[in-house]
Amino acid sequence: MQREDEGPVAVTKATFDEDVLAAPRPVLIDFGAEWCGPCAAVAPVIRSLALEYADRLTVATVDVDADPQLAARYGVRSLPTVLLLEGGEVRRVLVGARSGQEYRAAIDGMLH
């Protein structure tokens, strides 16, 4: 699981239920792929969010090429897609590259 001095947790099908669905706090999941330019563009933002919200939010990443079944499970059809979950339930979906400000607004809306 994520520590306050680390970035996002890379989750796989094998670790998803424990790291995401059973997480004791809300979770942001970034679905992306190595070949995806917009994914690479938002990666530093996602890492920054992981550090900024480390005490209140778990930030995870899923490589859709390695675990396409997770993408299919959540209907991910475009990359990057960011899901915000609370109690294992999807609360918000953000499709496409977004600014840090947009991600923060979505996170803050869920946390407050």
Catalytic positions, written as ranges: 36, 39
Q: Of the candidates 112, 111, 34, which has an alpha carbon nearest to the alpha carbon of residue 59? A: 111
Q: Of the candidates 79, 83, 84, which has an alpha carbon nearest to the alpha carbon of residue 68? A: 79
Q: Of the candidates 17, 32, 29, 3, which has an alpha carbon nearest to the alpha carbon of residue 107? A: 29
